[in-house]
């Protein structure tokens, strides 16, 4: 009888821990994209809702990461700029100086679902923090 109670309590404890893990909010991350050789890397980049992408220019030439609702502005060599994505979707972007340079940010819902192919605007912290 004592073993049965111990096993039952262990099962209940494991279920509680699992439930808490599944409902805990995901911790936002910052993912890096390097601009080098007139290309973005990694490309595409996949993140979760609430994550931030930081673009860093390693080329001598200036570049941007410009998409629907966000723009890093011109990045000189060594400069970085970040954008936080608050909605799931697929966000195409390009360099406004070199339009042949293109990239994609895929933002997945935090629940693990696949993001729809959309172009909803992320939050650009460089502008007053409002939705774009």
User: Residue 25 corresponds to which tokens in the numbers above?
Assistant: 């909010």
Q: Residue 111: what pLDDT?
A: 67
pTM as predicted: 0.68
Give every strand in the sheet of 89-94, ordered side by side: 45-48, 102-108, 89-94, 66-67, 70-71
pLDDT tens sequence across 16-69: 545 555 555 568 899 999 999 999 999 999 999 999 999 999 999 999 999 999
Q: What is the three-class DSSP state of 3?
A: helix
Distance CA(92)–CA(124), nearest Å, equals 15
Question: Would the CA dihedral through 18, 114, 43, 90 be positive or negative?
Answer: negative
pLDDT tens sequence across 91-118: 999 999 999 999 999 999 986 444 444 4
Q: Which residue has 């099962």 as its token pair?
A: 11
């Amino acid at each position: 009888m004592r073993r049965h109670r111990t096993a039952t309590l262990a099962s209940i404890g494991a279920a509680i821990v699992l439930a808490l893990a599944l409902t805990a909010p995901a911790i936002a991350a910052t993912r890096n994209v390097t601009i080098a050789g007139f290309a973005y890397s990694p490309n595409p980049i996949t993140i979760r809702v609430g994550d931030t992408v930081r673009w860093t220019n390693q080329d001598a030439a200036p570049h941007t990461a410009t998409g629907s609702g966000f723009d890093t502005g011109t990045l000189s060599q060594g400069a970085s700029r970040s954008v936080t994505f608050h909605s799931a979707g697929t966000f195409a972007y390009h360099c406004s100086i070199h339009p042949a340079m293109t990239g994609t940010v895929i933002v997945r819902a935090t629940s693990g679902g696949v993001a729809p192919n959309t172009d909803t605007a992320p939050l650009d912290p460089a502008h007053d923090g409002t939705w774009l």
